[in-house]
C-alpha cells in the first residue's frame, strides 16, 4: 500500500527521509520555510550533500512521487501522516530550542482542524522525554480543537542516521523505534517499515524519546574514552591500533551489554585501583583525561545517591543485604557496599548487615583481618541470620544478589521499603513489601 507522507523540515533527516520514502514507492510532500530548499527538491536536486541523494531525488522527481512546498496546510490536507524533522538546536545556555517544533505543531494543528480524515503526527526531531506529550500534543489539541488519540494521533519515532552514510543508515537502520500511547496509532508506520529489515520496537513515547539520548550520550562517551585511551597509548609508546583491535574483539565483556545495566557503584579489587593507576600516570605525563578522571567522582556520587534514598525514607532501622561488591565473593576490597554502610552509620542510622559469603564465623585470612581491623564497627553488626536482620528492619537494601527471591519473599512484610541497588530482573524481584524502588531505574 502506498502512503502519502508530508515531511516537515528538509534538512539532513527530512530530505533523506523524503527521498528514501519516495524510492520505496510512497508519495511525499516535503515542507520547509526555506524557499531555496523547496525549489531545489521541487526541481529534482538534492538540498544536501549526501551519498546517493542526487540519484534518489532525481528519480523521485521524475516519477512525480516527490514534491516540495512552503504550504504547510496543503501538505497536511494531502497526506495521511506528517513526519516532523525540523531542527532542535541548543540555546546559548545548552537548553534545547523547541521553537521550530512548536511552530510546526501550531501549523499542523491548524491544518488538522480543517481536515475531515484522521491524521498521524510523527515527531522525528530529537527531543527530551516528555516533550512530545507535554509540549507538542497540547499545541496540536489547542490548534485543532480536536482530541489526540480520538481525532488524530501522535507518535515519536527517533532517527539514527549518520551524516555521510545517511541514505544507507535510513534504509538499513540498527532498529526501528515507534513510540505511542496506544499501539493502534502505529498501523501506518508498521506498513511504512514493512520492507525495512530491522528489529521493530513498539514502546511508550518517553522510552522512544530517551533511547535517542541514551544512544548519543553513549556514542559521545565512547569517542571521548577511545581518544583518551589512545592518547595514553601514544604517550606510553604503545600501539593504540593494536590495543583497540584486540579490545573490540571481546564481545563478551567489552562490546556487549555487560556493565551497561543501571545498577550500583563499581568496586572490587580491580576497577578503582586500575583507574587510579592510569589517571595518576596521566598526571605524571601532564595529560588531561577528563573522561577517565570523572569516573571515580561519578562512582562516589552514586553511593551518595543511595545514602540520599535511604535518608529520604525517614526510616532509622536498615537491613543491608550484601557486604562484598558482588555475590559469590567474600572480597571486601573497595566494596561500595562498605562505603554505603559507613555513610549510613555516620548518619546515625541503625544498620544491620547480612551477606551469605561474608560472615565472620566463616571468614578467614585477609578478609577477616580487614573486618576486624579496618571496619570493626561493620563487623559488629554483621550476622549470618537473615531472618533476624530482616525482622527489625524498616528499610531493606538489596546490595548484592546473595539472598534468593523465595527466601526474601518469605521474610518481607508490607510496611518494609525495599531499595534495590542491583537491578534485579522483574522475575527475580521478591514480593512482600509494598514499596520497591531501584536506585537508578
Ligand X SMILES: NC(=O)c1ccc[n+]([C@@H]2O[C@H](COP(=O)([O-])OP(=O)(O)OC[C@H]3O[C@@H](n4cnc5c(N)ncnc54)[C@H](O)[C@@H]3O)[C@@H](O)[C@H]2O)c1
Q: Which residues bind ligand X (CB under 6 A)?
A: 8-14, 31-34, 37, 85-88, 100, 103-104, 125-126, 159, 161-163
Phi-psi region for residue 242, left (φ > 0), alpha (ψ -120 to 50) or beta?
alpha
User: And the C-alpha cell for 380?
Assistant: 559488629
Nearer to ligand X, 120 or 161 (CB): 161
The label of the residue with cell 542510622 reads 349
For this structure, is 20 an active site residue?
Answer: no
In the complex, minimum distance from the CB of residue 114 to ligand X, in angstroms, rounded to a whole number: 18
The one catalytic residue in 20, 70, 270, 440 is 270
Nearer to ligand X, 106 or 113 (CB): 106
In the complex, minimum distance from the CB of residue 164 to ligand X, in angstroms, rounded to a whole number: 9
User: And the C-alpha cell for 100?
Assistant: 521550530
Nearer to ligand X, 14 or 129 (CB): 14
Q: Give the separation between CA 141 and CA 112, rounded to whole angstroms.
A: 9
Q: Give the separation between CA 414 and CA 430, rounded to whole angstroms.
A: 12
Nearer to ligand X, 3 or 161 (CB): 161
In the complex, minimum distance from the CB of residue 47 to ligand X, in angstroms, rounded to a whole number: 7
| DSSP symbols for 308-326 | HHHHHTT--EEEEE--SSS
Element (H, E) at 13: helix 12-23
In the complex, minimum distance from the CB of residue 50 to ligand X, in angstroms, rounded to a whole number: 10
Nearer to ligand X, 120 or 398 (CB): 120
Query: CA-CA distances (angstroms) from residue 391 to 39, 132, 221, 395, 396?
Result: 74, 46, 44, 11, 10
Query: CA-CA distances (angstroms) from residue 329 to 14, 132, 265, 273, 278?
Result: 53, 46, 16, 18, 26
Burial code (b: 16+ CB inside 10 Å, e: under 16) for 247-266 equals eeeeeeeeeeeeeeeebbbb
CB neighbourhood size of 116 (10 A): 5
In the complex, minimum distance from the CB of residue 11 to ligand X, in angstroms, rounded to a whole number: 2
Q: Which residues are catalytic?
A: 270
Amino acid at each position: 500500500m502506498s502512503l502519502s507522507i508530508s515531511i516537515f523540515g528538509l534538512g539532513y533527516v527530512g530530505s533523506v527521509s523524503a527521498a528514501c520514502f519516495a524510492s520505496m514507492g510512497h508519495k511525499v510532500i516535503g515542507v520547509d520555510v526555506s524557499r531555496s530548499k523547496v525549489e531545489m527538491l521541487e526541481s529534482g536536486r538534492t538540498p544536501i550533500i549526501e551519498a546517493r541523494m542526487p540519484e534518489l531525488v532525481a528519480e523521485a522527481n521524475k516519477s512525480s512521487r516527490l514534491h516540495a512546498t512552503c504550504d504547510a496546510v496543503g501538505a497536511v490536507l494531502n497526506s495521511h501522516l506528517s513526519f516532523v524533522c525540523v531542527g532542535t538546536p541548543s540555546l546559548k545556555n545548552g537548553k534545547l530550542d523547541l521553537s521550530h517544533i512548536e511552530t510546526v505543531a501550531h501549523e499542523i494543528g491548524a491544518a488538522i482542524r480543517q481536515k475531515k480524515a484522521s491524521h498521524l503526527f510523527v515527531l522525528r526531531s530529537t527531543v527530551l522525554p516528555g516533550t512530545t506529550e507535554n509540549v507538542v500534543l497540547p499545541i496540536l489539541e489547542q490548534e485543532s480543537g480536536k482530541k489526540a488519540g480520538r481525532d488524530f494521533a501522535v507518535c515519536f519515532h527517533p532517527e539514527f542516521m549518520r551524516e555521510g552514510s545517511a541514505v544507507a543508515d535510513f534504509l538499513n537502520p540498527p532498529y526501528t523505534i515507534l513510540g505511542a500511547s496506544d499501539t493502534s496509532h502505529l498501523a501506518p508506520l508498521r506498513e511504512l517499515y514493512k520492507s525495512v529489515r530491522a528489529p521493530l520496537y513498539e514502546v511508550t513515547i518517553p522510552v522512544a524519546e530517551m533511547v535517542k539520548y541514551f544512544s548519543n550520550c553513549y556514542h559521545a562517551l565512547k569517542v571521548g574514552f577511545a581518544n583518551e585511551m589512545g592518547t595514553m597509548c601514544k604517550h606510553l609508546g604503545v600501539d593504540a591500533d593494536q590495543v583497540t583491535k584486540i579490545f573490540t574483539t571481546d564481545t563478551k565483556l567489552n562490546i556487549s551489554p555487560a556493565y551497561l545495566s543501571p545498577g550500583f557503584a563499581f568496586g572490587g579489587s580491580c576497577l578503582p585501583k586500575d583507574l587510579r593507576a592510569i589517571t595518576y600516570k596521566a598526571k605524571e605525563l601532564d595529560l588531561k583525561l577528563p573522561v577517565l578522571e570523572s569516573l571515580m567522582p561519578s562512582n562516589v556520587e552514586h553511593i551518595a545517591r543511595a545514602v540520599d534514598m535511604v535518608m529520604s525514607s525517614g526510616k532509622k532501622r536498615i537491613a543491608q543485604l550484601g557486604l562484598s561488591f558482588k555475590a559469590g565473593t567474600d572480597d571486601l576490597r573497595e566494596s561500595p557496599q562498605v562505603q554505603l554502610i559507613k555513610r549510613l552509620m555516620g548518619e546515625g542510622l541503625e544498620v544491620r548487615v547480612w551477606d551469605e559469603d561474608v560472615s565472620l564465623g566463616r571468614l578467614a585470612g585477609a578478609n577477616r583481618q580487614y573486618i576486624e581491623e579496618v571496619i570493626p564497627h561493620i563487623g559488629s553488626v554483621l550476622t549470618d541470620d537473615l531472618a533476624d536482620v530482616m525482622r527489625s528492619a524498616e528499610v531493606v537494601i538489596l546490595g548484592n544478589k546473595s539472598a534468593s527471591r523465595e527466601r526474601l519473599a518469605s521474610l518481607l512484610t508490607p510496611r518494609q521499603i525495599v531499595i534495590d541497588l542491583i537491578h534485579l530482573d522483574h522475575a527475580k524481584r521478591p514480593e512482600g513489601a509494598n514499596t520497591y524502588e531501584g536506585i537508578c531505574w
